[in-house]
């Protein structure tokens, strides 16, 4: 039996006497996301899509010179504070880019939940 997060097992059984209803929150068919962007030193544009808890859902980079888009791994640092950082690995020049953002500047919009 392999245990995964929150006391649930892979086969759906409950451990530690807690029911699945204890872990489930309200069901919602939409989620709030915001997009942040910054420039890399190689002139590529870096983007990250964040949820309302400032968790990165996806990161990507666009190179205006080549007109292409590639996946750019991204992560948030210090997401609990009013100001937080987003770190990217630029796929064009392989630099690690860290930029600061303010929570009050995030514009959240609804998208259908997957």
Element (H, E) at 71: strand 68-71
> Which pLDDT score, from 0 to 100, does residue 16 have?
52
> Which pLDDT score, from 0 to 100, does residue 112 have?
79
> Which pLDDT score, from 0 to 100, does residue 46 have?
96
CA separation for the pair 6, 21 (Å, rounded): 12
Percent of the chain scoring above 90 in pLDDT: 46
CA separation for the pair 33, 47 (Å, rounded): 13
Please spell the DSSP secondary structure of 27-69, one letter per residue: --SEEEEEEEEEE-TTS-EEEEEEETT--EEEEEEEETTTTEE
Tell me the pTM.
0.70
Who contacts 2 (Cβ-Cβ below 8 Å, separation ≥6)? 9, 10
Task: Please state the domain extents for the chain.
Answer: 26-112
Quick: pLDDT tens for 1-48: 444 444 444 445 555 555 455 445 555 678 889 999 999 999 999 999
CA separation for the pair 40, 21 (Å, rounded): 45
């Amino acid at each position: 039996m392999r245990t995964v997060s929150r006391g649930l097992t892979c086969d759906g059984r409950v451990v530690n006497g807690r029911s699945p209803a204890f872990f489930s929150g309200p069901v919602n068919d939409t989620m709030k996301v915001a997009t942040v962007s910054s420039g890399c030193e190689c002139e590529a544009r870096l983007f990250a899509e964040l949820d309302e808890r400032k968790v990165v859902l996806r990161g990507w980079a666009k190179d205006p010179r080549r007109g292409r888009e590639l996946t750019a791994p991204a992560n948030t640092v210090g997401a609990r504070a009013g100001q937080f950082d987003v770190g990217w690995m630029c796929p064009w020049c392989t630099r690690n880019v860290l930029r600061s953002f303010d929570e009050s500047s995030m514009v959240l919009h609804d998208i259908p939940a997957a």
